[in-house]
Amino acid sequence: MIRNVLQTIGGIEVYPIISLLMFFGLFATVLIWFFRVDISHVKTMASIPLEDAQSDENGK
């Protein structure tokens, strides 16, 4: 039944291509960002959850 419904929609074949291109575009963007990010920024972001937990323990 679903196959029959999808066959009657005109231009439906373009949507999987668009979604695949969007996925690979996002994946490539994250991969490029990963290799270009500064290590000090990563260490700062990694320590943020620990800073909140330490401030809660100290009563701040």
The pTM for the full model equals 0.57
Q: Three-class SS of residue 36?
A: helix
CA 41 to chain CA centroid, Å, is 18
Q: How many structural domains are present in the chain?
A: 1
Helix-then-strand count for the chain, H and E: 3, 0
The CB density around residue 47, as the number of other CB atoms within 10 Å, is 11
Tell me which residue range forms the domain holding 53: 2-57
- List, for residues 5-59, the tens digit of each pLDDT value: 777 878 888 889 999 999 999 999 999 999 999 999 989 988 888 776 555 566 5
pLDDT, residue 37, reads 93
pLDDT, residue 55, reads 59
pLDDT over 60 (residue 60): no
Do residues 24 and 30 touch, judged by C-beta distance below 8 A? no
- Give residue 10's region: left, alpha or beta (phi > 0; psi -120 to 50): beta
pLDDT, residue 59, reads 57
